Structure 1
Amino acid sequence: MNLTVYLAGQIHDNWRDEIKNQAEQLNLPLTFVGPMTDHDRSDNIGEEILGKQPNTVLKDEAASQINNLRTQVLLKKSDVVIALFGEKYKQWNSAMDAATAIALDKPLILVRPEKLHHPLKELSNKAQVVVETPEQALQALAYIFE
């Protein structure tokens, strides 16, 4: 059995690479997908496909349409979602992806430090598992294969 795991969350550090490397070391049959982590590509994809937009609001709207399409397809094809919330960045996309996973009835592993318990209490309540580190999320996935 192979599982597809959508890695939702901040794009400003290498947590995805760390999870992928650990999964490979543990020989777990996981395929990883996630949001576009190239920030410039994500911001400019609307104009790349739809052409130059007349202002920044419409540029953002065009990019969000294409990014939402990509996210929706990959979330629907995933078996489980890991949504990481860190302390450093505002994480609107993480919250949106986690809420979408819930709406799609996808199992959700929420990764968040204890100090974010209160602002994420509703998402935490809907998640199958809440952990504090990406390593713990991977351990929860590894347990599936025992």
Structure 2
Amino acid sequence: MEINVYLAGEIHSNWREEIKEKAKSLQLPIHFYGPMENHDRSDIIGEEILGEQPNAILRDEAASGINNLRTQLLMQKSDLVIALFGEKYKQWNTAMDASAAVSQGKPLILIRPKELHHPLKELSSKAKVTVETVNQAMKVLSYIFEKE
């Protein structure tokens, strides 16, 4: 059995690579999807496709429509969503993606530090599993494939 996992969350740190490397070292049959991790490309994709926009708001709207399409299609292909809420960056996109996963009936593993327990309590109650670290999320993924 193979599973597809969508990795939702901030794109500024290497947490996705950490998960992918650990899955590879554990020989877990997982294919990973996620948002465009090149932040500059994500911001300009609207203008690349639709042409120069007259202002920053329309530039953002053009890019967000294309990025939302990408996220929707890749999340729909996924069997499971892992959403990481870090401590450093604002997490609006993570919250949106985690909520979309719940709305689509996708099982959700929520990674969030203990300090974010209170602000994420409702979302955490909708997740299948809430953990505090990437390592804990990897243990959940590994457990899925245990035979005994």
TM-score, normalised by the number of residues in structure 2:
0.98
Equivalent in the alignment of 1:138: 138
- In the TM superposition, what whole-angstrom CA distance separates every residue of 1:7-62 from its partner, at most 9, and x where no partner exists? 00111110000110000000000001000110000000000111110100000000
- In the TM superposition, what whole-angstrom CA distance separates every residue of 1:63-110 from its partner, at most 9, and x where no partner exists? 000000000000111000000001111010100000000000000000
Within-5 A mapping of 1:33-112: 33-112=33-112
Equivalent in the alignment of 1:24: 24
**AA of the residue aligned to 1:36:** M
Structure 2: distance between partners of 1:144 and 1:19:
15
Q: Which stretches in structure 1 are left out of the alignment for 5+ residues?
A: none
Report how far residue 135 of structure 1 moved.
1.2
| 1:123 pairs with 2:129 | no
**AA of the residue aligned to 2:2:** N
**AA of the residue aligned to 1:10:** E
Structure 1: distance between partners of 2:5 and 2:139:
13
State the secondary structure of the residue aligned to 2:135: helix
Report how far residue 136 of structure 1 moved.
0.8
Structure 1: distance between partners of 2:103 and 2:51:
32
Report how far residue 138 of structure 1 moved.
1.2
- Show structure 1 runs of 4+ deviating over 6 A: none
**AA of the residue aligned to 1:2:** E
What is the Cα-based RMSD across aligned positions, in Å?
Answer: 0.5
**AA of the residue aligned to 1:21:** E
**What is the aligned residue count?**
146
